Structure 1
Amino acid sequence: MSAVSNQAPLRVAVVVGSVREGRQGRAVADWFLTTAAGDDGLALDVVDLADVDLPLVLPGWGGTPDPAAVAALEDVSPRLAAADAFVVVTPEYNHSFPASLKNFIDWHHAQWQAKPVGFVSYGGLGGGLRAVEQLRLVFAELHSVTVRDSVSLHGPWSGLGEDGSPRDAAVCAGAAKGMLGQLAWWGRALRAARADRPYTA
């Protein structure tokens, strides 16, 4: 890949991990998208798991997935494959991340490989950081690179407003821009590397 072509916008899939009724996840994601919208170097694609009819049985794991449910992934799987990088928006449930997110991650493999992952987390006094630390282990197994800095929104009762946006907007926006800077560096570096030499696990 030439230096010129590697200046094309970085395709970032933003995965909204919670599917609970009354969730704050989509509002948090919308805040993040607004914050990231000023960066012309990013092309953002939202993958909201509430809109994906996820199969519960993985192929080859002792069961037969519902063909209709598998068909629901025909739209979203190519979008992950086309992405250069990912941002995962996740709450923290019981010191971990949602089962819906784990199920979605496990349904894919090659789509995550040799690509960077950033995190926007929310919930409780820890701001979702325990969920993020566990997700780092999961994505390492999938040959992804997680960026060091993450965005941690504390609340949702104190740190987030009713619209899902952070009360300390300036600090959180700064954290988002810092994380996106790292994601963009890794995204472009790994995109060039994959073009030069396809990654094999």
Structure 2
Amino acid sequence: MPTLQIIVASTRPGRVGPTVAEWFAKRATDHGGFDVQVIDLAEVGLPFLDEPEHPSSGDYVHQHTKDWSATVSAADAFVFVMPEYNFGFTAPLKNAIDFLYREWHYKPVGFVSYGMGSAGIRAVQMLKQVVTTLRMVPLTDAVTVPLLQNMDGEVLRPNEKMENAATAMLDELAKLAGALAPLRV
């Protein structure tokens, strides 16, 4: 069974990313097509990129980078659970991506974005440019979570549109994870 890593991209206090990720992880588990892992960048705790060699060399000297490389290498597909900050994606997510290179290649990536007005769609559009450079395959199907309509205090209230979008995205991730597997070395 392919491994799906759900990466929580926000690290700031008071974030709702873990709540959104918990909902999506349950959906992914119920889908039945993946071994599901939730990776919280706040727990990974990567410093700002500190490797002396370029990530494409794969020559890592710090244990935190070696551990991050092993984590990402184990995945067959990703979902980034990400907020929108000032029309863009988070610095911790960009940093986590930039630490590595080959580990991301030929893996599909879906997006569960959230925010107040736009539900994070502008951040997703920006991030798609980054992930395609790493030979990742971003999905068209995505889940958007407008927080004003779907958060009740600290409780996420998913609606039918979110549920249907999650199913469509998981179906597509499963197809692409298998189709891209022969390209990964």
TM-score (norm 2): 0.90
Amino acid paired to 1:162:
G
CA 1:131–1:61: 2 relative to 1, 3 Å: farther
Structure 1 counterpart of 2:40: 48
The Cα of 1:71 is off from its aligned counterpart by 2.2
- Output the CA distance in 2 between the equivalents of 1:181 and 1:164: 26
The Cα of 1:98 is off from its aligned counterpart by 0.7
Amino acid paired to 2:166:
A
The Cα of 1:51 is off from its aligned counterpart by 0.3
Matched, 1:95 2:87: yes
The Cα of 1:167 is off from its aligned counterpart by 4.3
Whose radius of gyration is greater, 1 or 2? 1
Structure 2 counterpart of 1:161: 152
Structure 2 counterpart of 1:27: 19
Structure 2 counterpart of 1:66: none
Identity %: 38
Structure 1 counterpart of 2:167: 177
CA 1:193–1:104: 2 relative to 1, 3 Å: closer
User: What is the number of residues matched between the two proteins?
Assistant: 179
TM-score (norm 1): 0.83
The Cα of 1:82 is off from its aligned counterpart by 1.3
- Output the CA distance in 1 between the equivalents of 2:63 and 2:86: 31
Match for residue 78 of structure 1 among 54, 70, 82: 70
- Output the CA distance in 2 between the equivalents of 1:138 and 1:166: 31
Matched, 1:36 2:28: yes
Q: Which blocks of at least 5 consecutive residues in structure 2 are unaligned?
A: 55-60
Deviations 1:119-143 (A, max 9, x none): 0000021110001001100001111
